[in-house]
Amino acid sequence: MKSNFKRANQNYMRRFWPLIILYVVFCCAGPFLLVFLTEPSKWVYAGIALLNAIPIPFIFFVMGRYLLETDEYTRAKQARAMLTGGAVVLSFAAIWGFLELYQVLPSFWSFLHVPIFFGSYGVAYGLRSRANN
């Protein structure tokens, strides 16, 4: 299953970008669609919510596939960045959750954990890449 670095990156980009574009389109189209519907049912809301979320597990599948296809060095850098992103999201969720529990902070929209993960993952990957150069 191993391929060279360039091929692994090409495969990753070919799989990743359509999913991200789909995610953004769904996230923008859902609220836009609701403007044109008069009194939509809970099923319509549920359908739109699920449609927004469908690309997310596939994005993680693509990221995992990339780890399998690339070299050890890139795999280690990616794994560290993913672990950092996960640690940031879980720490944020726990801290906010406890502050919310004790009514210090308002409720947090949990779907925002996805962009927080990808933001912290990207920053961690970038910082690690700069440190190694």
Residue 66: count of CB within 10 angstroms of its CB = 19
**What was the pLDDT predicted at 2?**
55
**What was the pLDDT predicted at 3?**
58
**What was the pLDDT predicted at 133?**
58
**What was the pLDDT predicted at 43?**
94
**What was the pLDDT predicted at 56?**
96
User: What are the extents of the domains in the chain?
Assistant: 1-70, 72-133
Q: What is the CA radius of gyration of the chain?
A: 18
Cα–Cα distance, 119 to 44 (Å, whole number): 30
Average pLDDT per consecutive 10 residues, the chain (133 residues; last block may be shorter) = 79 96 92 87 92 95 94 92 97 96 95 94 89 67
Element (H, E) at 72: helix 72-101
Asked if 88 and 127 count as a contact pair (C-beta separation under 8 A), the reply is no
- pTM given for the model: 0.84
For 54, list phi and psi in degrees, rounded to 5: -55, -45
